[in-house]
Amino acid sequence: MHSIPNLDEDRERLNSIDGIVPNPFELPEGCYFAPRCKHAMARCKKEQPGDYTVGEGHTVKCFLYDEKEGK
């Protein structure tokens, strides 16, 4: 989310996610962002996250928002 430009800020560079985008023909097992995510858990490397509602009309695919994880 920090890489989305904000038109109210005057910045030269946007934040980026470290690492390399996976080849779409060789996607990793589990969450596709797990290899590049600083919040990745063991579960992320084995399972694809489902959709979690974080607000009206807003969903994410991240286990951090799974109530079973205690978040």
Tens digit of pLDDT at every position of the chain (71 positions): 555 656 676 767 666 778 888 899 999 899 999 998 889 999 999 999 999 998 888 899 999 988 765 54
Question: Model-level pTM?
Answer: 0.66
Residue with tokens 């097992």: 29
Give pLDDT, residue 2. Answer: 55
Give pLDDT, residue 71. Answer: 47
Q: Which candidate, 56, 7, 64, places its Cα nearest to that of 38?
A: 64
What domain range is 52 assigned to? 1-71
Give pLDDT, residue 21. Answer: 86
Give how many domains the chain has, as a whole number.
Answer: 1
